[in-house]
Structure 1
Amino acid sequence: MTETTEKTPFHWKSNIAWKNRDRIVVRGYDVNELTGNLDFGQMLFLVLKGELPTEAQAMITNAMMVSLAEHAMSPSSATVRFATSGGAELNGAVSAGVAAIGRLHGTADRPANMYIGVEQRAAAEGIPMEQAAALTVQEMRARRENMPGYHHAQHIRDPRTVRLLELSDKWGISGTYVAIARAMEDATEAVFGRRLWINGPGAMGCIGLDAGYSPLEMKAMFITARTLSLCAHSIEESTREKGWRASENSDMVQPLSLQMQGPDWYDGPADRELPTGFAE
């Protein structure tokens, strides 16, 4: 006789939220009690971290989200516009833009992980944090490895960084990781012969760690903030431009224009015929 065991029905198990016909509860709080009492930065902290933020944590979260919500034309916003020009719906175009946020664009998690590595190195080797920071910069340079969170392709000194660090200092957020980030910036002068300034994601990386976020939670924060911008770019593209990104009949040469795609811009093999055996 085969013994049978009763299986429970499939269900999602989560400590984030639950709902039934009458209630929606987020991290233990009724959503209607949160509505009208929390701002979005506070809600983001609650959903990601599971607890309500302190006043300083809430303020710096809102500041980072405002600072990093929009950055004009970037890989993600350009991707959204191209997807929209092909007829993608708003949600599809925005998801394409989010997919363009990668290792070199919109990343606060990579510098955050680097700062954590410096802290761990200082503890493991029993050396001052500033020395661990300088050694890390020297070794990354020797390996020709880019320092995530430093320098910006479009800014000599990222204008967002000074303001974010100023607020972090003012509100008492700045701690170990902001100090590590600044020590690494100081070390770049001797190693590179010029100063590599902390950029916006780099500032978010160190401030976010000191505010209690994990690297992955900061990436989520960036995606959440930048999605606002991506929606705006898609809406503008769909209401202001023709489909196919104004490939013709425009007062400027557009990326999809045939003028940009002719033989003058091709550097592959010359015209050739299929070898015997391929052609009919």
Structure 2
Amino acid sequence: MADEKPKTNITSIAPGKIRVKGYDIAELMGRKSFAEVVYLILKGELPTEAEGRMMDAILTSSIDHGITPPSSLAARIIMSGGNPLNAAVAGGILTIGESHGGAIEQCARYLQEYTGRDGEPGLVAKDLLRDLSLKKIRIPGFGHRLHNVDPRTVRLFRMADELRFSGKHQRLAKEVEAAFKKDGKDLPINVDGAIAAVISDMGFDWRLGKGFFIISRTVGLVAHAYEERIRQKPMRNFGVIEHEYDGPEAREL
């Protein structure tokens, strides 16, 4: 119907009142952490103490990874051009896609799909890798250009064990890692794969995967954009000076 009102179950607002998933935001402030309220707004219920700690660790793990990722570079380049901080941060977020920041979502999708299949985790892992190989798809969440062992993965899995969040998705991820190793491929689970497995065991929909990365990395992008503004000259060189032209030779009209 044209006159039907849009509906939302996230936040209700009225004069003097803001309720997030039914909770008064003023009562949440100072009593629940940011990570706990993120859990609430995504899941619909306040987390237990263990869920809150796990959520905090997940959001901390991807807060930044230095100056070289596309999102950090984009934020700095946009800020260097004399744009406001919000434009720089938005530009950084827009670089997040399948090749940067998208591995959590993709990996969680495969883990959630294949854990629903019958069979031992080791055999399911082989089926997953075989199916993706036939489609010429490399499973995301494994291997890292810099870290042979990702310290964030180690910490997340250790916390998941301590807080009793180690479930079938983490088992499958570890079986995939073992299958790679058996084939002589050094592709350990990276932080994206670890987050994908943990949020899946916590019951989050795989379609929220990029959301976890965006929520976390936005803080880092704010820091990069701000640092660019206060420490660097505008319109600075970002390292692309020497280059080779391979277009057409000079032509006459």
Normalising by structure 2, we get a TM-score of 0.93
**1:72 is aligned to 2:79:** no
4+ long deviations beyond 4 Å: none
Which one of the candidate residues 217, 223, 230 is aligned to 1:226?
217
Q: Runs of 5+ in structure 1 lacking a partner?
A: 248-253, 274-278
| Counterpart position of 1:84 | 79
Q: 1:163: which partner in 2?
A: 155
Residue matched to 2:108: 112
Query: Which amino acid in the other structure matches residue 47 of structure 2?
Result: P
The residue that corresponds to 1:206 in the other structure is 197
Kept after mapping to 2: 8 A contact 1:137/1:188: no
Q: For each residue in 1:91-143, what CA deviation from the matched residue of structure 2 results, as whole angstroms up to 9, or x when unmatched?
A: 111011111111121221110001112213x23xxx22220111222343454
Map Cα deviations across residues 218-244 of structure 1 (whole Å, 9 max, x no partner).
321220111000000000001111111
In structure 1, what is the equivalent of residue 248 of structure 2?
269
Query: 1:186–1:195: 8 Å Cα contact kept in structure 2?
Result: no
Check conservation: 2:112, 2:206, Cα contact below 8 A.
no
Between the aligned partners of 1:131 and 1:159, the Cα distance in structure 2 is: 28
8 Å Cα contact 1:118-1:129 kept in structure 2: no
Aligned to 1:145: 137
SS in 1 for 2:9: coil
Contact 2:109–2:207 (CA under 8 A) maintained in structure 1? no
Q: Residue 41 of structure 1 corresponds to which residue in structure 2?
A: 35
Separation (CA, whole Å) in 2 of partners of 1:229 and 1:66: 10
Query: Could you say which structure has the larger radius of gyration?
Result: 1
> Is this contact kept in 2: 1:77–1:230, CA < 8 A?
yes
Please state how far the C-alpha of 1:11 moved relative to its aligned partner: 4.1
Aligned ranges for residues 179-194 of structure 1 at < 5 Å?
Answer: 179-191=171-183, 193-194=184-185
RCO greater where, 1 or 2, for CA within 8 Å and sep 6 or more?
Answer: 2
Give 3-state SS (helix, strand or coil) of 2:12's partner: strand
Count of residue pairs brought into register by the alignment? 251
Q: Are residue 22 (structure 1) and residue 16 (structure 2) matched?
A: yes
Distance 1:143 1:48 in 2: 32
- Structure 1 residue 72 displacement after superposition: 0.6
Question: Residue 18 of structure 1: CA displacement?
Answer: 1.0
State how far apart, in whole Å, the 2-side matches of 1:134 and 1:17 are. 43
What residue is the counterpart of 1:255 in the other structure? 239
* Separation (CA, whole Å) in 1 of partners of 2:12 and 2:177: 45
Q: Say if 2:79 and 2:228, in contact at 8 Å, map to a contact too.
A: yes
Q: C-alpha root-mean-square deviation of aligned residues, in Å?
A: 1.8
Matched residues in 1 for 2:248 and 2:113: separation?
Answer: 47
Secondary structure at the counterpart of residue 106 of structure 1:
coil
Identity %: 34
SS of residue paired to 1:185: helix
The 8 Å contact of residues 112 and 206 in structure 1, kept in 2 or not, is answered as yes
Q: What's the CA shift string for 1:42-64, capped at 9, x where partnerless? A: 10010111111122111110001
Q: Give me the TM-score of the superposition, normalised by structure 1.
A: 0.84
Contact 2:63 2:220 in 1 (8 A): yes
Q: 1:165 to 1:66 in 2, by over 3 A?
A: same
